[in-house]
Amino acid sequence: MSLQESVVAALPHVEAEMNYLTPMAERPRNYTYDPPAGVPSSNIVQEPHRVAIRDARPVADVVSLDANGFALVQHRSAVQDFFDDEEVRRVYYPEVERLLKQATGADRVHIFDHTVRRRVPDAEAQPDAPRQPVRRVHIDHTARSGPQRVRDLLPDEAEELLRGRVQVVNVWRPIRGPLQDSPLAVCDATSISTNDLVPSDLVYPHRVGETYSVTYNPSHRWYYVPRMQPDEALLLKCADTATDVPARFTPHSAFVDPTASLDAPPRESIEVRVLVFHAA
C-alpha cells in the first residue's frame, strides 16, 4: 500500500549523500572491463545530493514488491560459506527459488546469476579486488532489458513466457551482521517519475546491457534496514512487465551511514538476480 506522508515523516532516519546522475546530453555508459585505448571506463558524472534515508523496519509489514518495489523478509539460510560459489548454487539457489515463489505467487523462477561483494580499501588499485558496493543510484534493468534477458537466457521459451508477466527481482542480504558499513538503500518506486530514469549502456565484452541511471528528484523516498542481520533479506524489484501495478522499477544504492561505528567490519553481502514468471 502507499505509505501516508505522516507515517513516513515519523520514521527514524539518517541523512547521507546519494550519488545521482548529472544530467547529460550523451547516453550514459559504463564498461565492465578495460575499455579500448583512449576510452574512459565510464562517461557518467555523479551528482551528490543529501537525502533522508528512513528506517524500513517499522513499515516492514506494510511495504511490498508491487506497492513499493521492495520488501523485507525473515529468511535463514543453510549456506555455511557464501564465498563458495558451488555451495551457493547447490544450497542457496533452491532456497531463493522457494522464497520468491512464496513471496510473489510465481509459477516459475529462474536464477541467472549472483554477486558476492566484500568492501576493501583502495579496491581500484587492486586488480584482483572483490566486487565492491555500488555507491551510485541505479536500477539493474529497464523496460527493454528485462524482457531481453528472458530472450537471452531462455530463447526457446521466451515468447511464450513473455506472454505472461515477467519480473526481475534481486534478493540481497548481508553475509555477516549486524551490517553497518555501506548498507543498501532502496527508493520507494512510487516516489519516482519516469523522467528520472535514464537508459544507460552497460558494456560487456560480448553484449551491451541496459540499466537505468537516475537523476535527482526531491520527491524520492529512501529506506534502509539499520544493522541488518544475515537472517534477513531484502527483495528488490528491478523490472516488471506489468503496467497496472504501482511499483515497476526500484532505484537503489549503497551509502555511507553516518551512525556506523568507526570499527564496523567492512560490508560483505550477496545478491541473487532472478527472473520471476507468472503465466498468462
Query: What cell does 92 get?
Result: 542457496
Q: Is the dihedral of CA 197, 208, 150, 268 positive or negative?
A: negative
Would you state the pLDDT for residue 2? 64
Q: Please, which pLDDT band fits residue 13 given cuts at 50, 70 and 90? A: very high
Would you state the pLDDT for residue 123? 67
Q: Please, which pLDDT band fits residue 251 given cuts at 50, 70 and 90? A: very high
Q: Look at the block and give the residue holding cell 533479506.
A: 233
Q: Look at the block and give the residue holding cell 567490519.
A: 265
The DSSP 8-state label assigned to residue 68 in this structure reads H
Q: Look at the block and give the residue holding cell 544507460.
A: 200
| pLDDT exceeds 80 at position 95 | yes
Would you state the pLDDT for residue 5? 81
Name 201's bridge partners.
29, 210
Three-class HEC string of 175-217: CCCCECCCCEEEECHHHCCHHHEEEEEEECCCCEEEEEEECCC
pLDDT digit string (tens) for 15-49?
A: 999 999 999 999 999 998 888 888 999 999 999 99
Dihedral pair phi/psi, residue 8, rounded to 5°: -60, -45
Would you state the pLDDT for residue 122? 74
C-alpha 251/C-alpha 22 separation (Å) is 16
Which pTM does this prediction carry?
0.93
C-alpha 183/C-alpha 121 separation (Å) is 16
The DSSP 8-state label assigned to residue 38 in this structure reads T
- CATH 1.20.120 applies to domain 5-278: no
Domain coordinates in residue numbering, the chain = 5-278
| pLDDT exceeds 80 at position 126 | no
Name 256's bridge partners.
none
Of 152, 170, 171, residue with least CA distance to 162: 152
Residue ranges with strand state E in the chain: 13-21, 29-31, 46-55, 70-74, 108-118, 138-139, 165-174, 184-187, 197-203, 208-214, 222-224, 232-240, 252-254, 268-278
